[in-house]
Amino acid sequence: MNWIAFKMLTGNRGKYLGIILGIAFATLLIAQQASIFCGLMLQTSGQIRDIQGAGIWVMDPNVQFSDDIKPLSDSDLYRVRGVPGVSWAVRLYKGLTRSRLEDGNFQQTILLGLDDATLVGAPPNMILGNLFDLRKPDAVIMDLEGYQLLWPGEEPRIGKRFEMNDHEAEIVGICKASRTFQTFPVVYTRYSQALEFVPPERKVLSFVLADAEKGADVNEVCRRIQEQTGLRAVTGEQFEWITIWYFWRNTGIPFNFGITVALGFVVGTAIAAQTFYLFTIENIKQYGALKAMGAGNWSLMAMILLQAMLVSVTGFGLGIGAATWFGTIANAPGSRLAFYMPLEVFVATGLAVIAIGMLSSLLSMQRVMVVEPAVVFQG
């Protein structure tokens, strides 16, 4: 009976395409909005991921997310170094400063000050220049997207100059960095240099980056740091989730995107269910004829389910393809759109589409179940 179901479905091209487009639209809406949401959430913690080489982040116990800086005292660095199991610990400055360009314009900039000796936390992907040129006076490395934001249309080049806190900075390298939630340029420099680019403060140490000794349990080392210093110590991954959950709890982003995803589900279900139901109603006499000829309710239900699954899979393929295409555009260089489609979004969208297919077919099944085969004798 499967091939009969298939031919019945594809025989009516208009309806067939209508159902598929309904499901594809729902898929696109659900997958795209969920992926934009994931992309935005990922952006909130992008800078934590970009700081590589350090397994442990140490911070003030009241820090709620990566941009919530509550400076530590310099002595905290030595206290962390003294905790058993800590292999090494270095300073990290993180803060916002204003960049002044040649034309007099100002732009907020994220400034990262790396440990002078080790440069732990340096950008992993250099596009132009050499990381070790950071050791030169006034040297900074800027992310490509930040550069394009400050000097739109200009070919990235090293040697470009601008001011921070009335102090001249020279770009010695262009790097690739994760997009930030605030979309500000990211500037890397040495810790000591960073202190010259910001107004003087009593305490300036934002984070202590550390790592556990080889073979030591990182979580156990974090626990020891907390116990002995009273500071908060978490792994990089834990800090990412702390940041993501902060935005989840304290912004309307999840709720707004959740509404759109739910609307996608409802609209998709409505379109697909209505079209599929109309398709079944149009064919009700054919189903009646099949019943009269001895096809049982289970066979007819299997036919409808197969049709629903077929349009669901096809619609899902088209919709997820369109969402991926959108993602490719969103992630193209120069684009400021956020898009990240993890496997979870793919699977969840697939399950939602299966649910749409099932809901759509339920109405039709109910109609076919109750149709009397005697309908075929009504002229």
Q: Contact residues for other proteins (CB under 8 A)?
A: 1, 3-4, 7-8, 10-12, 285-286, 288-296, 299, 372-374, 376-377, 379
Minimum distance from residue 294 beta carbon to other proteins (Å): 2
Q: How far is the CB of 341 from other proteins (least distance, A)?
A: 36
What pairing do the DSSP bridges indicate for beta strands 106-114 and 86-100? Answer: antiparallel
In the complex, the smallest distance separating the C-beta of residue 239 from other proteins, rounded to whole angstroms, is: 59
Minimum distance of other proteins from residue 3's CB (angstroms): 6
Nearer to other proteins, 267 or 376 (CB): 376
Tell the smallest beta-carbon distance from residue 256 to other proteins (Å): 44
The C-alpha atoms of residue 24 and residue 271 are separated, in whole angstroms, by: 11
Cβ neighbours of residue 23 under 8 Å, at least 6 residues apart? 268, 271, 272, 311, 312, 314, 315, 316, 319, 353, 356, 357
Smallest Cα–Cα separation from 205: which of 117, 303, 120, 90? Answer: 90
Distance CA 222, CA 193 (A): 29
Dihedral sign (CA 158, 162, 164, 168): positive
Nearest to 20 by CA among 267, 268, 315, 309: 315
Q: Which is nearer to other proteins, 11 or 230 (CB)?
A: 11
Q: Which is nearer to other proteins, 323 or 371 (CB)?
A: 371
For the CB of residue 279, give the shortest distance to other proteins in the complex, in Å. 11
Distance from the Cα of residue 12 to its chain's centroid: 40
87 or 299: whose CB is closer to other proteins?
299
Tell me if 285 sits within 8 A of 375, measured CB to CB. Answer: yes
